[in-house]
Structure 1
Amino acid sequence: MSKRRFHTIFGITTLIPFFLLLFPLFEIGNRATPIIFGLPFSFFWVILWIVITFLALIVLFILDPEKHEEGDE
């Protein structure tokens, strides 16, 4: 994967959850019911996107083309 493509994917991966947690897109998950794992849906929505972002960044870290370059110390 090229560096430019990696940086584009990284930017999209970090911006999508950011926008989904901001108004007006937060309105998708801004409701009190249903209760999931004892949390109102709006709290679950925020925690869900934090976990998804964390997992996506771990995958991107593993796929990082700059990590595999020769000469890194």
Structure 2
Amino acid sequence: MSILSGLALIWPVYPWAVDLTPYVLGLPFSFAWTVGWLIVVFIALVLLYRADEPDPAD
């Protein structure tokens, strides 16, 4: 997941997002793209944290 989000925010993919001019919720698309990926990574980390809870027997 970290590789995918990293690639989405750097050279191979990000230049495609910068060239678009629409607005998403009032934000330029390039900024909304970055914020969207930050939210995706946050949710993935929360799910990983919940899946990796220690057993109460330990």
Give the TM-score taking structure 2 as reference length: 0.82
For the aligned residue pairs, the C-alpha RMSD in angstroms reads 1.4
Which blocks of at least 5 consecutive residues in structure 1 are unaligned? 1-12
Partner amino acid, structure 2, of 1:53: V
> Deviation per CA, 1:27-55, whole angstroms, max 9, x where unpaired?
23113511111111000000000001000
The equivalent residue for 2:12 is 24
Does residue 39 of structure 2 align to residue 51 of structure 1? yes
Does residue 36 of structure 2 align to residue 62 of structure 1? no
- Alignment: residue pair count: 57
Larger RCO (alpha carbons 8 Å, 6+ apart): 1
Answer with 1 or 2: which has the greater Rg. Answer: 1
Runs of 4+ in structure 1 over 6 Å off: none
Identical counterparts, % of pairs: 30
> Separation in 1 of the partners of 2:19 and 2:25?
15
Give the TM-score taking structure 1 as reference length: 0.67
More helix by share: 1
Does residue 5 of structure 2 align to residue 39 of structure 1? no
Partner amino acid, structure 2, of 1:58: V
